[in-house]
């Protein structure tokens, strides 16, 4: 499990989450790696968590979801329910900066099938635990083969 500890803000300061861009893009003027801050950092971490498969990380076998592996399965309501539960439990276990925000129906993760493209659209509604901002994150997955 990743150890991310939330620090309490000192009076008059703001917590800043910083992470480097996983695309390893360089800043056009400085030539250094682009840094993602606060909201962008959290969204990148969530997207990376959802797109990772279990047992993909050598020392964190439980990190991730099996969303990419499920693209080749027949998609039915049971598969959607299993994937929704898997995504929610992974976020609760590995991303302490956010909490899943439900829409009143008890769901904070929505999975929609794209029939014409053999893909999935995953929408995650979450609340940032520091800023209490509610945000939706959309992740598109397409089957390549």
Render pLDDT for 18-77 as a digit per residue (tens, 0 to 9).
Answer: 787 778 888 889 888 888 888 888 899 999 999 888 888 888 889 988 888 787 778 888
- Residue 1 in any domain: the answer is no
* Stronger pLDDT, 24 or 94, i.e. the higher one: 94
The answer to the question of residue 78 being in a domain is: yes
Q: pLDDT at residue 11 above 70?
A: no
89 vs 142: which has the higher pLDDT: 89
Residue 12 domain-assigned (yes or no): no
Domain coverage including residue 58 = 18-142
| CA dist., res. 94 & res. 97, Å (int) | 9
Domains in the chain, number: 1
* 6 located within any domain: no
Domain assignment present for 3: no
| Residue 61: inside a domain | yes
Q: Is residue 106 very low, low, confident or very high in pLDDT (cuts 50, 70, 90)?
A: low
Q: Which of 26, 70, 42 is nearest to 127 (CA)?
A: 42
What's the predicted TM-score (pTM) here? 0.78
Q: Is 36 inside any structural domain?
A: yes
- 127 assigned to some structural domain: yes
pLDDT of residue 1: 45
Q: The domain spanning residue 32 has which CATH number?
A: 3.10.450.40
Q: CA of 105: how far to CAs of 48, 101, 109, 110, 140, in Å? A: 26, 10, 11, 11, 23
Query: 6-15, 55-64, 95-104: which has the highest mean pLDDT?
Result: 55-64
Residues 6+ apart with CB under 8 A from 115: none
Choice between 6 and 130, residue whose per-residue pLDDT is larger:
130
């Amino acid at each position: 499990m990743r150890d991310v500890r939330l620090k309490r803000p000192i009076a008059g300061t703001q917590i800043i989450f910083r992470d480097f861009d996983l695309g390893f893009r360089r800043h056009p003027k400085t030539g250094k790696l682009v840094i993602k801050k606060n909201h962008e950092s959290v969204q990148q971490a969530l997207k990376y968590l959802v797109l990772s498969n279990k047992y993909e990380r050598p020392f964190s076998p439980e990190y991730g979801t099996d969303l990419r592996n499920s693209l080749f399965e027949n998609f039915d309501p049971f598969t959607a329910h299993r994937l929704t539960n898997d995504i929610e439990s992974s976020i609760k276990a590995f991303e302490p900066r956010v909490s899943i925000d439900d829409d009143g129906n008890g769901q904070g993760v929505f999975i929609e099938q794209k029939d014409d493209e053999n893909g999935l659209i995953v929408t995650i509604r979450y609340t940032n635990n520091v800023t209490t901002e509610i945000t939706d994150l959309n992740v598109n997955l397409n089957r390549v083969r």
